[in-house]
Chain A
Amino acid sequence: MTSDTDSTGGRVDAYAEWIITLAVLGIMSTAFLAARSWPPDAAMFPMVLSGLAIGLLILKLVFMVMAALVPPPATTEETPAADEADGGGDLDEPPPGAFATANGRAWGEALLCLVIFFTVLSLFGIVVTLVVFGIGYLKIVGHRSLIFGVIYVGVLMGAVHLLFVQLLSLPLPEGILFP
């Protein structure tokens, strides 16, 4: 974490570290428990693996608790507790780009677009999705003219058709409601 990241960003990172660690611990514990009902040969590998992972995660939690209890020495910049605890966190990594800097609005817009894209995809298939989403997205988000959108989508669909249908005779994703 670089020093110019605002403090809220740093806090989000610290919370995320706890959430991710606990979530993976949850997954690994579930995996361990699920394996108990299998025959020994089938269960051995998953149990050894998830057991090991649980050990590692607990070790990480211990480091995190220790780092939270012991304030970092004043000379270092505000490094995330966990990285330091691991003994070798990368201090001079660049900030993780748009993910850290984008505001809530941008996130909302991008995620909404993705939800629309994949909902339309599962309902109506890729052909309808590309036409509707492609033209709509280019118009609303890309601020391009309708004609531009139609040409863009037309070229894209043509290329997809040539490659998938004509050359490889591969099926295209179909939707539940409409092929």
Chain B
Amino acid sequence: MKLGIVVNEGPYQHQSSDSAYLFAKAAIVKGHEVWRVFFYHDGVNNATKLTEPPQDDRNIVNRWTKLAEEHNVDLVVCVAAALRRGIKPENLAQGFRISGLGQLVEAGTQCDRLITFGD
């Protein structure tokens, strides 16, 4: 099945981006396609390459990048939400792209299921 995921909270502050990531990984293991992850609200903070967590903590941003590379997952950051919060092409991590809210609507129309993770 084709799945879309929406992430509404930033990394580390809230568990939602961890839950979304683990859900995505489990879906891929089960043979489903994670067609797009759309980052909205503070979720856009998942996309900054300036993140530097302590050595013994998970690197949430790199984890998304790796998922995108290995499984061709489309990571889309909402442009309006991103600009409000200082996420721009120059600090965007690998594997993410900035685009409009139409990409979220498209995830809704194209995917068999759309699931939201947030606060």
A and B interact physically: no
